[in-house]
Amino acid sequence: MTINQMLQPMFATVDESGGMFDGGAGEKQFKPMLINEVAKEMEHTGGLGLATAIYQKMLAMQEKK
């Protein structure tokens, strides 16, 4: 869900001015599903790659106490 929320602004930058590659109404309807599937795929392949770095930082902070 977090990855999905992070991807939405990225997909909002796509030019929808009606040019040659504009998907029209179909693109507008299916874009949320595309974003959701991209987010799911990212989750299954390791997410954003931040978990290990965050975990190590948390351990280091805990050891300082």
CB < 8 Å & 24+ apart, contacts of 26-29? none
Which amino acid belongs to residue 54?
Answer: I
- pLDDT number for residue 22: 72
Model's pTM, two decimal places?
0.61
C-alpha pair distances (Å), 36 with each of 8, 13, 52, 57, 65: 9, 17, 24, 30, 40
Confidence of residue 12 (pLDDT cuts 50, 70, 90): confident
- pLDDT number for residue 48: 84
Asked if pLDDT for residue 33 goes beyond 90, the answer is yes
Q: Is 3 exposed, middle or buried (0-12, 13-18, 19+ CB in 10 A)?
A: middle
